[in-house]
């Protein structure tokens, strides 16, 4: 994991691709539902005061939106 990946996402881009973008939830429900789930996770950790983890979840969601936009272009 690079420093950027750790600081920005808390996981590798490879993990985001393998476990979220190409994961079972996305295959069954679509990437939009997976993105909403990641944003819900961000809301949940905010409730517990973990703004740093919330920021990382939001960055993961933004990365996923960007990947979806690349595929649509």
Distance (Å, whole) CA 69 – CA 73: 6
73 pLDDT exceeds 90?
no
pTM of this structure: 0.94
Residue among 26, 13, 23 nearest 63 (CA): 13
* Domain membership of residue 9 as a residue range: 3-72
9 pLDDT exceeds 90?
yes
62 pLDDT exceeds 90?
yes
DSSP string, 12-47: -HHHIIIIIITSHHHHHH-HHHHHHHHHHHHHHHHH
Number of folded domains that form the chain: 1
Tell me if 31 sits within 8 A of 61, measured CB to CB: no
At a CB cut-off of 8 Å and minimum separation 6, what does 8 contact?
56, 59
Q: Given this model, what pLDDT does residue 14 score?
A: 97
Lowest mean pLDDT among 4-8, 11-15, 58-62, 69-73: 69-73
Tens digits of residue pLDDT in 11-49: 999 999 999 999 999 999 999 999 999 999 999 999 999
């Amino acid at each position: 994991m690079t420093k950027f990946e750790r600081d920005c996402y808390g996981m590798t881009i490879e993990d985001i691709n393998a476990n979220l973008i190409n994961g079972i939830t996305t295959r069954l429900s679509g990437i939009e539902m997976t993105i909403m789930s990641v944003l819900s996770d961000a809301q949940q950790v905010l409730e517990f005061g973990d703004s740093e983890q919330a920021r990382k979840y939001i960055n993961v969601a933004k990365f996923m939106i960007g990947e979806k936009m690349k595929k649509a272009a």
